[in-house]
Structure 1
Amino acid sequence: MLADSFGREVTGVRVSLTDRCNFDCVYCHNEGLGDTRGPMDPRGHEMSADDVVRFLEVAAEFDVDSVKLTGGEPMLRDDLEEIIERAPDSMEVSMTTNGTFLPGRAEGLVDAGLERVNVSQDALDADAFRELTQSGAYDRVIEGVRAAVDAGLDPVKLNMVVFRKTAGYVPEMVDYVAEQDSLQLQLIEFMPELVGKPEWAVDIGDVHDWLAERADRVETREMHDRKRYWVGGDGGESDGSGGGMVEIVDPVGNEEFCANCHRVRVTHEGYLKGCLNRNDDLRSMGEMTKAEIREAFRETVEDRVPYYGEYMVRDGEGGWEVNDDYVEV
């Protein structure tokens, strides 16, 4: 297993299969690349299924044991099932999707080897959902979540980005998940450094405090030092685990989050990325031969730097500034 100079072992990879998407969410950062989305038709610069599988085979050589498939919208790839089926047996395969294509495909994805899924859902109201996603597909997403549950995907996590336009929907979403044994909720802090619109940011600490008051049990995960809250339990479980699980992903300004990062990312064009927040560390895997992938993967891991606390450091006035030690001149 490879580790960077800060002792962070890389155990997972996050692979974007396309930058195409049938939604146009107002908060989208497209895996940190910015708004590069284009036409819905497949384009030649996307990694082929062979490229993706070849990369995963090399990652498995370094004991990487999980892959998250993302986009854009990964289900726009007609060869998605093939990619999942051909992934190394030693890897847990999960996916993040907007859910609109899960009806009719969820069972096939499970048969191919998909184990977990995250579905983006920022509101439980069709009009609010339309405003946030620029899409009228609310009913289709609800149907997709149901299809994922029926297909046996476990857990099915709902991803909700928390910012000015969605913060008021958090209590309703938490109650909804607390009543659904098959669902979990992931509240994701809005990242203005990737999207802009700093005026949209909210204090995620307030959400933590609100959940802590309601929770029957609180747990801290090693991955990214994340907090999990069990809400709405009926007391029937001796360990307090009854009810819905709500997890907060809060990277902004969070040195502990970055200190516990274990993932490397791959763009749809076949570039390795050591940090979501950075695009000055993109590294090509060349013609995608296994030798080229190995070399690029080793170099990417070796050069990984915690974003907050190392790449970005305190400026003495409570803000953050770039640490020149990690910027190539």
Structure 2
Amino acid sequence: MSEPLEDEFGREVTEVRISLTDRCNFDCIYCHNEGLGDTRGPMEPSDDELTADEVIRFLEVVEEFGIEKVKFTGGEPMLRADLEDIIRRTPESMEVSLTTNGSFLRGRAEDLKAAGLARVNVSQDALNPEQFAAVTKSGAYETVLDGVEAALEAGLAPVKLNMVVFEQTAGYVEGMVEHVANREGLQLQLIEYMPELAGRPEWNIDIGRVHDWLADIADRVERREMHNRKRYWVSSTDPDAVGDGDPGMVEIVDPVENPTFCANCHRVRVTHNGYLKGCLNRNDDLQSMGEMSRTEIRETFEDVVANRIPYYGEYLAENDDSEWVRNVT
């Protein structure tokens, strides 16, 4: 195994994020489909969807370059009937995680764990069926909650709940924080809304207000080296809390206009149809891996890593009016 590849900004690439499908059984109003925009097609798999053999071939090639972690995403990756097989065949040197809406976890969580899944993130934006339906356009609220329980029972703890924070969900943050503080085995990841990907800039809120509120109520605050993220450890205020009494962990992912975040990115993404992209926020850097031969995979991966540019601070730069504009120098 070689050392990880570096781009010209000194950023090692140690992780890959693979979209296994652009299909999804939800229709979340903030979805940006891994930065590609709302391109989801019909529920039947398309001919250009990466096969399990192609996914594994890619992972075996990039293992040569020191890739340590792989996260499978979508669309909804659990629409792939071969997901367990893909995880089982993933190189043992890689930690495997999954981002899912959770609606299929009951009945499959144990098999996913047995196949080698280490961690799972479940998208959950509200703790009320009506509020959940308004955001996801789905009536699967109880199914998702049951799926989270199934993941915990299968030994996938801690289960990290992903919540996108924007105008429609900001009022639910306090309840979600209390939920993870009150429930052993859960963590919460509050994700800043990205209007440049999802559109609707009027839905944006100031994520700094959420930081300030959490700092006021947290037992302690930690700063992660990766992306300079902050973690807040919050105790439950419920006298009937069912947890073990330990504080719950809440982490904020705030990439928007954040040069530090981009300067510490160690990830390359793979689209469901076999393109590599070096940055979530860009689609002008997409490169096809062609027929997915090992040579094509290797050459494309090396080229994508070599041409990665931090989105904020380099690809975009602040002008004299403190606006982020395309850096053309």
Same fold by TM-score, threshold 0.5 exceeded?
yes
Residue number in structure 1 paired with 2:297: 293
Deviations 1:49-94 (A, max 9, x none): 0010011111111111000000000000011001000000000000
What does residue range 41-60 of structure 1 map to in structure 2 within 5 Å?
41-60=44-63
Residue number in structure 2 paired with 1:238: none
Residue number in structure 2 paired with 1:242: 246
Distance (whole Å) between structure 2 residues aligned to residue 273 and residue 141 of structure 1: 30
User: Cα offset for 1:216?
Assistant: 1.0
Stretches of structure 1 that go unaligned for 5 or more consecutive residues are 235-240
Distance (whole Å) between structure 2 residues aligned to residue 155 and residue 55 of structure 1: 28
Equivalent pair of 2:63/2:91 in contact (CA under 8 Å): yes
Aligned residue pair count = 319
Distance (whole Å) between structure 2 residues aligned to residue 264 and residue 223 of structure 1: 15
SS at match of 2:219: strand
* TM-score (normalizing by structure 1): 0.95
Distance (whole Å) between structure 2 residues aligned to residue 146 and residue 94 of structure 1: 17
Amino acid at match of 2:209: D
Distance (whole Å) between structure 2 residues aligned to residue 321 and residue 251 of structure 1: 16
Deviations 1:186-240 (A, max 9, x none): 0000000001111100000110011011111111111111111111079xxxxxx
Distance (whole Å) between structure 2 residues aligned to residue 134 and residue 316 of structure 1: 42
Residue number in structure 1 paired with 2:240: none
Residue number in structure 1 paired with 2:78: 75
Distance (whole Å) between structure 2 residues aligned to residue 58 and residue 43 of structure 1: 24
What does residue range 14-25 of structure 1 map to in structure 2 within 5 Å?
14-25=17-28
Residue number in structure 2 paired with 1:254: 258
* TM-score (normalizing by structure 2): 0.95
Deviations 1:24-60 (A, max 9, x none): 0000000000010011111111000001001111111
Structure 1 residue corresponding to 2:37, chosen from 19, 34, 37: 34
Equivalent pair of 2:178/2:236 in contact (CA under 8 Å): no
User: Cα offset for 1:154?
Assistant: 2.5
SS at match of 2:187: strand
Name the Cα RMSD after superposition. 1.1
Equivalent pair of 1:274/1:304 in contact (CA under 8 Å): yes
Deviations 1:270-314 (A, max 9, x none): 100000000000011111111111110111110000000000111
What is the identity percentage for the equivalent residue pairs of Structure 1 and Structure 2?
68
Stretches of structure 2 that go unaligned for 5 or more consecutive residues are 238-244
Distance (whole Å) between structure 2 residues aligned to residue 10 and residue 223 of structure 1: 13
Residue number in structure 1 paired with 2:210: 207
In the alignment, does 2:161 pair up with 1:166? Answer: no
Amino acid at match of 2:293: T
Moved >2 Å (runs of 4+): none
